[in-house]
Amino acid sequence: MIYLDSALIETAEKLTQLGWVKGITTNPTLLAQSPLPPSKTLSALAKLSPGELYYQLTSTGYEEMVVEGRFARDVIGAQTVLKIPATPTGFRALATLSKEITCSVTAIYHPAQAAIASEAGAKYAIAYVNRATRLLGDGLGLVNQMAQVLAHSPTEILAASIKSADEAAQALMAGADHLTLPWDILNAMTHHPLSEQTMVDFNQQGKGLDWR
């Protein structure tokens, strides 16, 4: 599936123009860009999202994570997917929350963390492709390693931090099951100059139904 990575309501409203985006992912940085409080932003996004809506926990303690996760579910509703950090405390919270709410593990930088995410009940394991390339040297390699670790697991890979249409395609080829992309990359993936020119050539040289 392909998701919109944004917390801007005006951007989410454009999804009806596309018809093929399956949901919306957010994070604390994106929510900070919204002029509304996070709870109001998430409520509005839930009405606009065609499917799942991701919320990232900001609490750092186990008890606080569990409370925050349940509160997020109350705000968003059945579409909720929690993004829980790949930390020891995060994995502990995941093991609790995944029994009640769909969960993902975010900021994975080692395939071993993907294995723990699966064991603790995560539906999704999130890799920051471009960020991992900058920090580790090979974000696509990380996705591929995660795919091998999760090959016989129900946990799926969501590739985030995608900066181009080429990187999006490469993430899928490396083993990602899903992508989350900002609006400009979503649009970039639909365009290629040769596709446009090919259709011009067909229309100039051929005929179609007279439906008018």
- State the catalytic residues: 83
Half-sphere exposure of residue 176: CA atoms within 13 angstroms, side-chain side: 27
3-state secondary structure 58-77: CCCCHHHHHHHHHHHHHHHC
Q: Please report which helix (H) or strand (E) contains residue 53, including its range.
A: strand 53-56
Q: Please report which helix (H) or strand (E) contains residue 190, including its range.
A: none
**How far apart (Å, rounded) are the C-alpha atoms in residues 187 and 201?**
23
Q: Rounded to 10 degrees, what is the CA torsion of 167, 130, 183, 168? A: 20
Q: Which of 148, 107, 147 is nearest to 131 (CA)?
A: 107
